[in-house]
Amino acid sequence: MAFSTTGQLLLTGVPGHELDAETARLFRAIQPGGFILFGRNIRSASQLRKLIDDLRDLSEIEPVITIDQEGGRVSRLRLIGSEPPNAFQLRMKNDAGLIRRHGTLTGKLLRLFGFNLDLCPVLDLSFDDEADNSLKGRCYGATVEQVIRNAGAFNDALRAEAVASCGKHFPGYACASLDPHHELPVINRTRAELDAEELAVFRHFAPSVDSMMICHASYPSLDASDALDAAGTPASLSRAVITGLLREEFGFNGLIMTDDLDMGAILNHYGLEEMLRLAIGAGNDFAMICHRMEVLGRAKEILDGCKNAGAALERVAAFKERLAPPASFSEDEFRRLDAEVWDLRVETLGAEAAARRSPEDGKRSPVEHY
């Protein structure tokens, strides 16, 4: 049975490391379907668990609680613990056992804090490991076979710990020449090229990931309307890409969400109402708004009028039926698991490299959502 409030179609950020009275009132009124946490929300292990418990307490319907915990620079928990190796570093070791350990440890840590969804694994191919398109260090392979093997090992291990997974970024940022945090990339790959590489990966994972995140890039070969619009339609707002390709052709039955709608690729081209109507009309179940808390009230009003909201609400409800409750929390268990993450880092990188601090260590990125 679907939930009645369209607030369930919002996956929203949280402004600070504790819930102030005004934010709590806003969330109680809107009842978002889920919350995504960032570095700005994390101060200590016990503080993080309390924040998540508070979010669950104000939610009338069990919320999705999610985070980007990939490895390397996209590891929010490195602010309070060890930084896991990233996908590129694990790929270079060519040891699926290390990747499975990473997935298992990630799942155990997230359950300990109360997360029930990890926005992982990245399924993008890496055609250039140095490309400035937001994917540096985050790709499990340079070939279809590598990504399937490596991302599959992480995905299976994460899900075995009762944390839901998310394949991203469909249909693939691999050939993006621009960072979508700033502007909309146009990817001029033919359908045959996409089928042979990027889409081959996502087609493989369609039965085995719990959710998919849709990227902000235009693909003229996938959406014929792009031929009529010089700017192009982002995949995240394209019915041809989400419903036609991912749902109908690939048979994906899980939860579908946009990437952060506060990115420049969207904000530079769409107002709030058009953006949300297109997102839900295209077939997304979650519209992700990570930073602009002030628009959430209006966003819910807009979603109330979206004709596709009923189908999306049914899919959100089905997804939530499978969510696992948090594990019992203790500081000792966090320290034990964090020590295992450090051991994994040393085994992957070597002791000297593992101990070396990068310029990003301990800092919060100005662009927090990758």
Q: Which of 206, 86, 99 is nearest to 157 (CA)?
A: 99
The owner of tokens 């946009």 is: 258
From the candidates 68, 118, 223, 259, give the one annotated as an active-site residue: 259
**Catalytic site residue 118?**
no
- Of 181, 204, 216, 269, which is the active-site residue? 181
CA distances from 55 to 20, 49, 84, 202 (A): 11, 10, 26, 32
Neighbour-count burial of 240, counting CB atoms closer than 10 A to its CB (0-12 exposed, 13-18 middle, 19+ buried)? middle
Structure tokens at 140: 């499990």
Secondary structure of the chain in the HEC alphabet?
CCCCCHHHHEEEECCCCCCCHHHHHHHHHHCCCEEEECHHHCCCHHHHHHHHHHHHHCCCCCCEEEECEEECCEEHHHHCCCCCCCHHHHHHHCCHHHHHHHHHHHHHHHHHHCCCEECCCECCCCCCCCCCCCCCCCCCCCCHHHHHHHHHHHHHHHHHCCCECEEEEECCCCCCCCCCCCCCCECCCCHHHHHHCHHHHHHHHCCCCCEEEECCCECCCCCHHHHHCCCCCEHHHCHHHHHHHHHHHCCCCCEEEECCCCCHHHHCCCCHHHHHHHHHHHCCCEEEECCCHHHHHHHHHHHHCCCCHHHHHHHHHHHHCCCCCCCCCCHHHHHHHHHHHHHHHHHHHCHHHHHCCCCCCCCCCCCCCC
Contact (Cβ atoms closer than 8 angstroms) between residue 286 and residue 316: yes
- Annotated active-site residue 17? The verdict is no
- Adjacent-strand bridge partners of 74: 71
- d(Cα 313, Cα 302) in Å, to the nearest integer? 15
Where in the sequence numbering do the catalytic residues fall?
A: 181, 259
